[in-house]
Structure 1
């Protein structure tokens, strides 16, 4: 645990940094024309580059919640820990943590990386999700063509684990090491679908 403290990634340090990170998320949402206050901040994710650090974080965060899932996605374990007490930040109550083990990609900054929000709607693929998002956020339709000139990277994907039965297409908006992801189903519902 001392190693995590030395690099600023102990859960207590990360929780202390959470309000600043959520301020950056809010700033990106405002730039995108997304009013996310009334939507569920489904989960928060962190990224690390070192396997030993990931293993240490996995164990450290188990003091704050229960392991909901340990699933292979895109060739690496993705751990989901449901908090004993949701993280309350601003208007959001975040119920779980996503901890991907490292892949061959190196992140310039380790620590908090993204928050995923549930935008409820019938969307089985990214095209249908785009319609849901434009309906929920009318300003977004004008923003799509301007994202790259604002320095915002856009990625549409449909990640899924081996046993998941619930499609959960995702749009990710990333800028300056902060990422907002939008999808139609909560991570808990997706995990529950594995056992349905």
Structure 2
């Protein structure tokens, strides 16, 4: 546990940092030209560069909820912990934590990294998701993003047994990222047992 405190990553420290992180998420949504307040802040994710820290975090966060999933996605374990008491912050209720174990990529900053929001639709590809986002979030300023230093990435991550497609658009500026997808993580995990 001391290792987590020393790294500033103990859950108590992370929860104390959450309001400031969510202000940055709100600032990024403003830069995107969208209002995410009506949408579900599905889950929050953190990043670490050290496997031992990831293991310690995995165990420490289990005190705050139960493990919903531990799947190999894109060659590394990604753990999802559903909070026993959802996090209430900045008007959103966040029901889960995503903890990816480290890959070859080294993050410049360890800690909170992104929040994923559900923009509900029945799409199954990134092209369909873009069309849906254009319809539901018409103010999304796609053309101006590069000028603002916002990187956009489309992906279709999936676990081995998932039956529900959940294409994703990520919008990243510096160390802050917003991801938009059509289904909640809980729904995707539940699809594994169908």
Structure 1: which 5+ residue stretches go unaligned? Answer: none
After TM superposition, give the deviation of residue 2 of structure 1 in Å: 0.8
**Normalising by the residue count of structure 2, what TM-score does the alignment of the two structures yield?**
0.99
Aligned equivalents of 1:4 and 1:29: distance in 2?
30
Tell me the residue number matched to 2:169: 171
Query: Alignment RMSD, CA only?
Result: 0.5
SS of aligned partner of 1:62: helix
Structure 2: which 5+ residue stretches go unaligned? Answer: none
- Structural mapping, 1:101-140, within 5 Å: 101-140=101-140
Aligned equivalents of 1:59 and 1:22: distance in 2?
24
Tell me the residue number matched to 1:92: 92
Aligned equivalents of 1:129 and 1:83: distance in 2?
28
Aligned residues: 194
SS of aligned partner of 1:63: helix
Runs ≥4 in structure 1, deviation > 4 angstroms? none
Tell me the residue number matched to 1:9: 9
**Normalising by the residue count of structure 1, what TM-score does the alignment of the two structures yield?**
0.98
SS of aligned partner of 1:109: coil
Tell me the residue number matched to 1:36: 36
Q: Which of these residues, 134, 151, 154, is aligned with residue 153 of structure 1?
A: 151
